[in-house]
Structure 1
Amino acid sequence: MSSALANGLAGAGGGIIAQIITYPLQTVNTRQQTERVSREGRDSRGSALFQILQVVRSEGLPGLYSGLKPSLLGTAVSQGVYYYFYQVFKNRAEAIAAANKKRGRGDGSVGMLSWLVVAALAGSVNVLLTNPIWVLVTRMQTHTQAERKIVEAKRETLLKEASQSVLTASSLEVQLAELDSLKPHPYGTLQAAREVYNESGVTGFWKGVIPALIMVSNPSIQFMIIESLSKQLRAKRAAKNKDQQNITALEVFIIGAFAKLGATVCTYPLLVVKSRLQAKQEISGNVSLRYSGTVDAIIKMIHHEGFRCFYQGMRTKIVQSVFAASVLFMVKEELVKVYAVLANKSKVNVYN
């Protein structure tokens, strides 16, 4: 097994574990990002824990795990693809650096700019291949929220018609009772896929791909920080003890958390735009808040909600993404070490 494939499988395994642990926070965060709130109507919506309890109260525990199956598939594929191509491009960058050293250029190490390019290339391949999965996950996470908004819009219409004497009091009472009795319908992966296709055709599965491609800078920044800090830590450790250069699982956890924090703060507005584009557009009864594309979404968000909307739910996202990234990197590194041990044992057995 090649090092690239081993890193890909380890990344997929780490990603699945991190996703399962932090998924409720991800569900709440996606709903926070896609919630339309006018400048005048903006208020305090409570902590992530409070909102988790609200979801459990209204939808039960399954509500926190809406879209988990495609999300796990997406995580496994996404992390596998990313780490595989990251290792491929990393190996190539290291080979180029070594070749340059032989020619008398550089010290043989990969520079920070090269790490950014490596991470950006791997991230771009990942986004193009896995975007359809994340469109479905976003739809499933916000389905209940979208149906609730539709019901609220119908209620407002009925009350308006009643105030204009279009509806009788008895008719209004009956129709309001019908709305109150409505419950969110089960919403599976195939139903979400049909909905996306019926709305926008095949291209609908790549909604939000432009901000997602721009967001490649997130893992680029993240991996630049990780590689730089890991290199410095190994160098310091090697200076003290030449036989001990490996970094521990706890150190990987801390480095991963620090790197993800910096990357998330820098790119969060793009994540909000991507979620808005991928969510069901009927999540708002106001046609002016439906988006035809990335630029249209940004303009309307600024006009109707102000710049603060680009940071809705950022605290929840920081907690979720930093913890998930830390778990992912820690698990991935341990799996890679296990692979290395097994590979060495197999070599010993072959020679014996």
Structure 2
Amino acid sequence: MHIDQESAAFIALVQASAGAAGAIVASAALQPVEVAKTRIQISTGGDDSTWATIRKIAAQDGVLGLWLGAIGKCTENGAKNFAYFYIYDGMNAIVKRHMALTTLVKLVLGYVAGVGNTLINMPLEVISTKMQLDDAKGIGTLGMLQRIVQNEGVGTLYTGLGYNIALCINPAIQNTILDKLKEAILGAMKRRNPGVAPALTAFQAFTLGAFAKAVATVVTYPLVRLKTNLQAGKVPTIERQPSLRKVTSKLGHGMERSGSVEMIRAMSFREDKEVEKASLLQRFVELYRGVGSALLKSTLQSALLYMVKDQVEFSVERLFRLSAEGFYRKTGQLKLGGFSGRPLAS
């Protein structure tokens, strides 16, 4: 069977499989930072140091507590990256045949891919977020799913959907920056050595992935933190200030939700500090509470993801080709062992 390596479907499958593999490796390696990041993001006071939080979790729950929800997170990130890269690279392969892939076009394609990925995989994200909290010890992925559906309703699996749709600009920014920088570097390599096919080294892929994710994270962080609070069921409010009290409707089983503006304002205050004494700068900085752990986790995860993805991409492509060649003849006939190419007895 002939495999068209330039087909959009084949390109998308290779990129998606390599991306999923990279995501799983990165998630498993960085789960302690992910757990610490989630705990810090839903807190409203105290130490927000990543390493201090990791030490505290290890002291309270043991070393295994740092990998709380690891299976759910690896499943989530593997599925999310498979869906994202399949949609993104498939659309890229199709669109570039008809028009130039400008920065704006790539941003749009990245955003569309992000929306598609969100709609498919958001329940996994909600489950994995809740599995990183204190009350999730000993509960597996299916157990957490059952608890959410029974106690809060199926709709809870899409908690923060609006914020996730808005945050699809994050991977769009990240992949646009990454693709443009990668294109520039590979172009420079090709000009220096015209006869050699250019390829990024593992270190270059690691560095580019980290830089692109850092920019995207800083731009979108307040929304990321708000979404994490909602998915964890920790609605940010300030009871001491009337204008910041919970204001809108009740969703699900009596869980009160504030309007977006009120919740973002509430996140700009610390519960262990006097509200009236907080300056505008202090409130702005507080919106980025936990950004250090988020940057550490997201940039390292993205860097590892792209490094692994770039290194295994060729292997994945080769595996698919060999698998297809093992099951099909060059004529396109399916190989069936001793009956290969013969009609089966009726």
Indicate whether 1:210 and 2:162 are aligned.
yes
Corresponding position of 1:253: 206
Any idea what the Cα deviations from partners look like across 1:35-60, whole Å, max 9, x if unmatched?
Answer: 123xxxxx5x1631121111111111
Q: Distance in 2 between matches of 1:293 and 1:118?
A: 32
C-alpha offsets along residues 280-328 of structure 1, whole Å, 9 cap, x if unaligned?
3489997957751561532443477644332111111111111111110
- Does the CA contact (< 8 Å) of 1:8 and 1:82 recur in 2? yes
Q: Which residue of 1 aligns with 2:175?
A: 223
Counterparts of 1:1-352 in structure 2 under 5 Å?
2-37=10-45, 43=46, 45=47, 47-97=49-99, 109-144=100-135, 186-244=138-196, 245-281=198-234, 288=245, 292=257, 295=260, 296-302=262-268, 306-341=283-318
Q: 1:243 to 1:339 in 2, by over 3 A?
A: farther
* C-alpha distance in 1 between matches for 2:220 and 2:25: 24
Structure 1 residues 291 and 116: alpha-carbon distance in aligned structure 2, compared to 1, 3 A threshold: farther
How many residue pairs get aligned? The number is 295
Q: Which residue of structure 2 lines up, in the alignment, with residue 101 of structure 1?
A: none
**CA 274–347 in structure 1, closer or farther in 2 if over 3 Å, else same:** closer
- Structure 1's consecutive aligned runs of 4 or more residues displaced over 6 angstroms after TM superposition are 282-287, 343-351
Q: Distance in 2 between matches of 1:285 and 1:57?
A: 30
Question: What's the CA shift string for 1:18-44, capped at 9, x where partnerless?
Answer: 00111100100001000123xxxxx5x
1:96 CA displacement: 1.6
The structure with more helix, counted as a fraction of residues? 1
Contact 1:256/1:325 (CA < 8 Å) preserved in 2? yes
* Structure 1 Cα separation of the partners of residues 265 and 52 of structure 2: 31
Q: Read off the aligned partner of 1:54 and give its amino acid letter.
A: K
> 1:91: how far off?
0.9
Letter in 1 for 2:52: F
Distance 2:291 2:64 in 1: 24
Normalising by structure 1, we get a TM-score of 0.76
- Other structure's SS at 2:194 match: coil
Gaps of at least 5 residues in structure 1 are: 38-42, 98-108, 145-183
Unaligned runs of 5+ in 2: 4-9, 247-254, 272-282, 331-346
Deviation digits for residues 167-219 of structure 1 (CA, Å, limit 9, x no counterpart): xxxxxxxxxxxxxxxxx863333443244334542211100111111111111
Identity %, equivalent residues: 26
Computed over aligned residues only, the root mean square deviation of the Cα atoms, in angstroms, reads: 2.8
For normalisation by structure 2, the TM-score amounts to 0.77
Q: State the distance in 1 between where 2:173 and 2:207 align.
A: 16
